[in-house]
Structures are given as structure tokens and as C-alpha cells.
Amino acid sequence: MLRPVWFQRRRWLSTSSSPSDDIEVKSFLPSEAFVKQFVKRPSHREKLTSLISELQIFLEMFGKDSLPQFTDSIWFTYFNTWLAEERCEFLNHLRLERKNRQLTDGGAEKEQISVINQRKYDNGEMVYAPGFNTLVELRGQDFRGVIDRMYGSRLLSLQRCEEELPKLIVDCRFLTEFSIAVQSTFVKQIQALHDSNWNSRLPFNITVANFRPDNQLAEIIKRHLLFHFGPPSSSDSFSRHPFAPTLTTKGIEYASGSPRSDIMYISWRATQFLPDEPPPNVRAVVLCASKDHQPWSSSVSAAVKDGIEAYRLPLERYVRFEKTTKHLPLSAVSSILRSYFRKDDIGESIRLAVELRNKNARPTDKTEQELFERYKAVVRDAVAKAKEEKPPIPRIKPEQKKPKKHRYTREERRKMREEQAMLSSQSS
């Protein structure tokens, strides 16, 4: 499959306005341990060669620094993605993720705050920052420990005073059926949900239900679900918080510990709005890890299957949606529900959540989108050409069984049986 991919690569380079030199891909290659474990057959080696070619084309089109460093975890996901369309989406997802991180961090060229503070301190200015004139410093694990204790004490105090919010359940029954990019999006949303809940004055007790990850999803979880596995730098010494979200393969009713009549399912496609006042019997509220684009993965269909009443947030009463989607991240929905169950102003909470969502949304670069579509076309044509050039596997017809030949004819066998029966009757 390597030859067609390189053919398409040369064709793209010949039509490009500024042909670039070959990109060095050695830093992106998998480790020897990965190759020994997963690349064992000739078909595996053929696929790895093709993936490296696709990766090099991507780097030549988007730049050598467009992708993060490829770990074995990323290679496992990339190598086990069989559809070419999903592989393209996965690489583009990694590119956008890296780009957003660089925009958030301010770029490598931005001077570090610590350097600026040191310069001010050397000039005799009064500096109030970590390491400069601070009475108590809370950073890293010390800061995490303080927030952990506050988070746990708030949950316990709410339970002790019987003022806890309904249990918040994230339904992940459809997660394994989505593409890698969608899976990564929802896993990061679950982590963001915990982060916002972690430092909230009124935290939810969160459970992730119907959580049955396959090998592909498991690798994504290890990279992004930090409250469960910890950061990669301290994964060995990481201790999970006792009140961190619970991951379970069980269904919603088991995870909630309540009957179906005491559970709410939130879906933006539901036909009825939330009641003006929170029902007093509600003990759990469910959010679905799905964008509801297809009926088979709809949160409404999940609610109907489990026999749970589905409600929608009254977004249209407070916000006008024109070209933006009504689908909000899990953390935004949880903040709205927190205001709802505490009987605060839900309209203000909805406006803030939608405004924050729109503020954090990155504008789509039309040029990059067109370039990505060209990349997908190159890979698509290469895969189709490889299938045409691949020789068909010859089918070996099974050998026909030789006809069974008897030593005696049917009449002779019948006569022999009669004689044997006669002899046995005489002897008796």
C-alpha cells in the first residue's frame, strides 16, 4: 500500500504552490517495544508503512510542528483505526488540540511570567507572586491536596445536612460506537466536568455509568481522564481521590440507587421542558455522552429504553440560537442544573453557560479546512488505488471426495446378513 500513497503525495506536491522538502518522521515513529508487540505479521508491517506515509503527507501539508509527539499510546489508537476517514480525523484532532493548547499558553515566544517577576524584583520593585514575598505557597501537589480536602468536606457536609444535590450520572452507553475524535471530545468533557465540580461550593456526586471501554477507548482514557489515572508525569505515585467520579459498567438505575420514577434524563431533543420547580422526589439526573446526531445514539432513545422521563433545558427562553448548536458541554449543563436544583436564577446560569461556550469556541480556519479536505482526498484515492493493485487472493476449491466403493454389491450384503441371522438362530 506504500506505493499508491507516495504516488498521491507526489501528485499533491506537484500541484502545491510552495513545494516543501521531505519531512523527517523519525521522531514520530513507534518504539521498538510497540513494533515487537503489535507488528508481527506481513499485513501489520504493510499497514505500518502505509500509516507512516499518511503521517508524512500530513506533516508536509500542515507543517512539521503541527502534531504533538507520538507516544505509544497515540500509536496504539492510530494503528488500530482501520477506516482511512477516521485516521484523517484523528490526525486533524491531534493538530487542533495542539493548536488550541498553544493559543491558550500564549505560544513559545511569550516571555514567562516568572522571568518578568524576577526582572522586577532585581530592579527593586515589590513583587507579589510565587517565590516573591508570599507568606504561604500552594503549588503543585500541595495545592491539589488542599482542594481535595475542601471538595471532600463540602460533599460530606452536604450529605450530613441532607442538602446534597441529586446524583449526577453520565451515560456512556454509545461512547464505544463513535469515532476517535468524538470519543476524545467526550472523555475530555468528563474530565472538565470533574474539574468544574471539583472546586465548586456545591459539588455533585458524579458517577459514569454504562462505561465499557474497548482497547481503543481505554488508551484515550489513559491520556485524558486525569482524575482516575493521574497526569502521565506522576501516574505511578498518583492516589485517586475517594470522592472522585465513580466509573461503573452498570446501568443507570443501579448507579443511581434509585427507582426510575426518581430519575431525570436531560436531553436537548426531549419534547418537554424542565418543570419550573424541581420535583421533590428526584434523586438522580442523567446526562448522555452523545451529540444526538443519529437516532440510534440519541439520548431520548436511551431514556425511552430505560423507561426514564426525559426533559430539556429551557435554553430558548433565555438565549436566541441562530447558527450555533444547542448542544452544550457536560460541565455547562451541570452548572445550569446546579442553579436549577438550588432554586437560583436558571436564566442567568443559561446565559453565562452559552456565553462561555461561544467565547471558548475557536473560529474555523477556512484555509485549513480546505487543506484538510485535500488531505482526505489524497488518502482516499491512495487507499482506493491500493485496493485495485492488490492481487486477489486465489480461492482454492476443496477437493471432491472420492466415491465410496463397496467390496460387495447390495444384494450380496443382504444375502450375507440373512445367512448370519440364520446361523445365529440355529446356534441358539
Per-residue pLDDT, 264: 96
- Look up residue 251 and give its three cell numbers: 446501568
Average pLDDT for residues 354-372, to the nearest whole number?
77
Average pLDDT for residues 268-284, to the nearest whole number?
93
Q: 141-312, what's its fold?
A: Alpha/beta knot (3.40.1280)
DSSP 8-state symbol, 177? G
- The number of helix segments (H) and strand segments (E) in the chain equals 16, 6
Per-residue pLDDT, 106: 55
Per-residue model confidence as pLDDT tens digits over 16-42: 434 444 456 788 889 999 999 999 888
- Look up residue 178 and give its three cell numbers: 463513535
pTM over 0.85? The answer is: no
pLDDT classification of 396: cutoffs 50, 70, 90: low
Average pLDDT of the chain to the nearest whole number: 83
Per-residue model confidence as pLDDT tens digits over 187-226: 999 999 999 998 899 999 999 999 999 988 998 998 889 8
Extents of the domains making up the chain:
2-106+371-389, 141-312
Asked if the model's pLDDT at residue 12 lies above 60, the reply is no
Sheet holding 206-209, edge to edge: 246-247, 206-209, 167-171, 284-288, 263-266, 309-311
Per-residue pLDDT, 221: 92
Average pLDDT for residues 55-72, to the nearest whole number?
89
- Look up residue 171 and give its three cell numbers: 451515560
CA dihedral defined by 336, 338, 340, 345, rounded to 10 degrees? -70
